[in-house]
Structures are given as C-alpha cells and as structure tokens.
Structure 1
C-alpha cells in the first residue's frame, strides 16, 4: 500500500497523474484479493476430509450378509431341529425286582421273538432282525429313539398312535402275525424294555440315530438286475443265494428276505426307500456304509421285487 502511495505522488509531481488511474489501481487490488482470499476462506469452511482408504464405505444394513451362525446343517435334519445325542443305559444297569424282570422279558421277546412270543408271529423273523443290537443300535430304528416320540400321528393308519399302537403294527406287518393285546404280558414287557432303554432321554425330541438315515436319491433309478449282482456279492453269504436265510438248530440265524417266512407287503421294509436306508447304514452286517448309495437302492429293489405275504389290509 505504501508503495502505491509513493507511485501516485511521483506521478502527481511529474504532472502525469490522472484520477482514473486510482480507480484502475483499486480494481486491480480487489481482483488480486478475490483470487487469493476467497478460495482460502472456502477451503477453511469445509469439514475435514475423511481418509477413504482408512474408513470403508458402509452398505445399508439390509444389504449386509447375515453373520455365519454355524447352524446351516440344522435345516437338513428331518424336522428342522438339531438332533440330541443320547446313549441308552448299559445292560448292567438294568433294575432288579419285578420291574427288572419285566424289562428282561421285553428284551428276550425282542431278541428271541420266535421263542417268547411265537403265538403272535406269522413268519420266521425276530424283532432284532430290523432293530439291531437288541434295539440299541443307532441308525437301525432303535427303541429308545422311537419311544420318546409317541404319541404321534402316522399317515400309515391316519390317526394319532400310541407307542403300543406302533408295536402292534410291527407284529401285524413286519412279523406277519397278530398284534398282542394291549394289557398282555408281551405288550407290557416290550413297552417296559423300550421305556428303560430311553431312561434319561427327553420326550418329544428328535434323537440322533432315530430310524434309518435318509439315503438320498441314487444317481440312477433303482434296478433289480444290478441289485441281483450286489446281492450275490455281498448278501448271499448270510441270507442264502435264494434269499431264504440261514438256520441254526431250527432257528434263523440270518433272516429270509422274501417268501412266506419274511415280512409282508404292508411292512415298512417293503418300501424300497426304507430298505435302501437300512441297507446303506447297516449292511452287510458289521460293515455298514460300505455299499454305495446306488448299490443300496439297487439291492433294495431286488429284494422287494420278490413274492412275499400280502398286506393284510388288502382284501
């Protein structure tokens, strides 16, 4: 500013001064000030700039993926509920007294049905043929897992069934026989044995190992001809080349799989899917899950393609 005043005085003394020059000088000063000061004030008024690299952009909450809860497999269980693991009591823990005697009778009927309930059986099978290890083995329709799920509605007879109803159905279809009376010694003994095996298990809760594991669909439709080859290679050694089982002292050590001494056409095992599930998880005996899924379905189709007693519901 002092420099400008001296410049004006010098021009005035030389006689070269014109008042318009003052206007031009002031205008120039304002233009310079606008160029320098206005951007500085604008920058000073802005909020501090965020470091984009340090602060990731947040998506709207609706677009964020759900945290992995580790529960995806729960939806694959039959009832959408995580099965509870349970171990039945040991044989050495069986109670004494009259209750213990009834429980032991139930076990004997279950393992040796042909001896302890012969009058109720119409074929050559024992309960243990489909429910392995005296009804204790997981993935082989164990008694302890079935007992806690009754009463339950069953589509087979379109009504709510008690556990006694379920046992009666086994005698009528799987054993091709006659259902025991509900207050009979046989029915009370089998119910007592099942009750004891389920001691400590929660009721109405899906227990791991219940029934037979879902087999899934095979790569190819089940084929009896392929199944015949699987049968001869893996099953005939126990069940006989003709599927009629193997006897020791007049009793079947290995059950017949078709014919008059096998289960009838109303039994659950006559469903190819059920038979495939049982075979996949449990057969050959002691070598469960050694057959492929396709082999299990094929041999189930082969077994159930043979003649057997009729479903008693069919007239």
Structure 2
C-alpha cells in the first residue's frame, strides 16, 4: 500500500482508519431525518427526484454502489470527511456542494443545482448521516476506487470486447445501453446518449478499471483479472458518449486542454471514428425537454 496523505497534507503512511456507516434503517424520524431520507431517494432514483438537473437516465448509485455505502465504490461517507479540498480538475478548493454540482454536470450529464437548492442540501444531509462518527480530514479504508497496478499489456479494445461479451452483456446489453424497469434505470448505459459524458471521472480508463475490478460483474467483484478490468474499461470508453461540458467547439483543443492523458480516449480514433467529434451536445434529456 502506498503512503496516504490526509486532506490537510499530513502524511499518514499506510494507515487508513476503518469505518462502517450507520445501519440503513436507523435514519431518525426527525426533520433532519426527513432531509436524509430525501437525499437517499435522490441518490437512488436521481432522474425522478432531481429531474431539473439530470440529463441522462443514470442514478448516483450507478457508480456509488449499495446506496453509497460500499467500500472501494467511492462511498459517500469516505468522501464527506475530505471536503473542502483542492481539486486539480478545476484548480481550486471545492466545497462539498461544488463537488456534488460537478457530479450533476458530468456524470449525470445535466446542470448543477444552486448550492442552496434543496437537492444539494438533502444530498449533503445524507452524506453527513452516513459519515456520522467518522474522523474528518482522513483517508478512510475503502475510500474512492482502489487503483490498479499498471497492466502487463496495453489495454486492448478487441480483448475488452471479449471480456464484455462474457461478463457484462447480461446486464448492460450488447449495445451498452443498460436496462430499465418501469422507467427506472436498473443497469446503467455504459456509452451513448444516456451515459455519463466525456467530462465524467469514469471516462478515465484507470478509474473505470479500478471500479470494474472491485465491483463487477455485479455481486462478483474482484473475480476479473487486472488485465481483463483494464481491457474492458478500454472497450467501454472506446465508444462515444455525450460531449464534454467544457467543449469549446474544437475536439482537438478540448482534447489538449482536458484529455491529454494517454489513458483518455477523447479525441482518439477508434474503429475509424474520432471520439468526441460526433458526440451529442451536453445536456441530453434537459436539452430535449427545453426544446
């Protein structure tokens, strides 16, 4: 395990405190508890409960598993204790509200709620409740996604396609568009108009590979090899998705400014197509609803 540094810059060595969130059924029957319950509902069924800010069919729980409780699936309780924090993505110190706004902008392909909006207040309340009793400013065990070592072989689209066919098609479909039940997305779209956009963290292959390794196939996390996780992450992100909200009209310029990592496929040619060149505009469903 590599050395861990707290949000305040204190070197914690390899120590990561363990923490377990409160029982899911222990939300209090109080006015604050009502806010927590609303936040949980937003988290589980985001388009239905925050329709003015979501541009796709994904839910917060699509990436933060088990209602934001599961370790190594970017649990909410581990994130709550690390904010405010500096983020290189936007090059300034972010409040927790701003971090949540970013999730709506990128992962949900929507628009950010005002910091004082009830949606943000309720989500913050839910996160606060999940983190009750946790130490602040400390990287907890299970925080974020556990990064994988560099792959033995360069991630490969063809190998990834085979891994996808063997392990992912049942839930996410051969076309990667997921499955919904009664209008509620149960298994999220992995690419296309209803998926996260090119600015979301999951479009980074290392991030996607780490998430996949720990959590997929559903209920059978840590059964894929590291190489398989890298390969299928490459395959998944080797498809087009909604445009990066920071798009300035030029794929080349946007790529150079925001997507210059070797593990970022935006602006790269895959199967004869430059990813991002024909992406649907940012906003998705919100844009359609407004038209």
Which category of TM-score, normalised to the shorter sequence, fits these structures? 0.7 to 0.9
The reply to whether residue 85 of structure 1 matches residue 18 of structure 2 is yes
Q: Which runs of 5+ in 1 are unaligned?
A: 1-72
Determine which of 81, 105, 123 is the counterpart of 1:148. 81
Aligned partner of 1:174 among 89, 96, 107: 107
Task: Tell me, yes or no, if the aligned pair for 1:77 and 1:83 is still in contact at 8 Å.
Answer: no
Cα deviation digits, residues 111-144 of structure 1 (max 9, x gap): 0102111121001100000000000001000000
Larger helix percent: 1
Please tell me whether residue 212 in structure 1 is matched to residue 150 in structure 2.
no
The normalised TM-score by structure 1 is: 0.75
Contact 1:81 1:206 in 2 (8 A): no
The corresponding residue for 1:36 is none
2:168 corresponds in structure 1 to: 235
Higher relative contact order, chain-length normalized (CA < 8 Å, sep 6+)? 2
2:34 alignment partner in structure 1: 101
Work out whether residues 215 and 276 of structure 1, in 8 Å CA contact, stay in contact via their aligned partners in 2: yes
Cα contact 2:180–2:186 (8 A) shared by 1: yes
Q: Look up the match of 2:282.
A: none
In structure 2, runs of 5+ residues without a counterpart are: 6-12, 249-291
- Identify which of 222, 239, 260 aligns with 2:193: 260
Give the structure 1 partner of residue 277 of structure 2.
none
Q: Offset at 1:92?
A: 2.5
1:294 alignment partner in structure 2: 227
Quick one: distance in 2 between partners of 1:260 and 1:179?
19
Cα deviation, residue 78, structure 1: 4.2
| Paired residue secondary structure (1:276) | helix
List structure 1 segments (4+ residues) > 2 angstroms apart after TM superposition: 77-81
Aligned CA-pair RMSD: 0.9
Which of 49, 57, 61 is the equivalent residue of 1:116?
49
**How many residues matched?**
241
TM-score, normalisation: structure 2: 0.81
For 1:78 and 1:269, how far apart are their aligned partners in 2? Answer: 23
Q: How does 1:1-315 map to 2 (within 5 A)?
A: 73=1, 76-79=2-5, 80-315=13-248
3-state SS in 2 of match to 1:92: coil
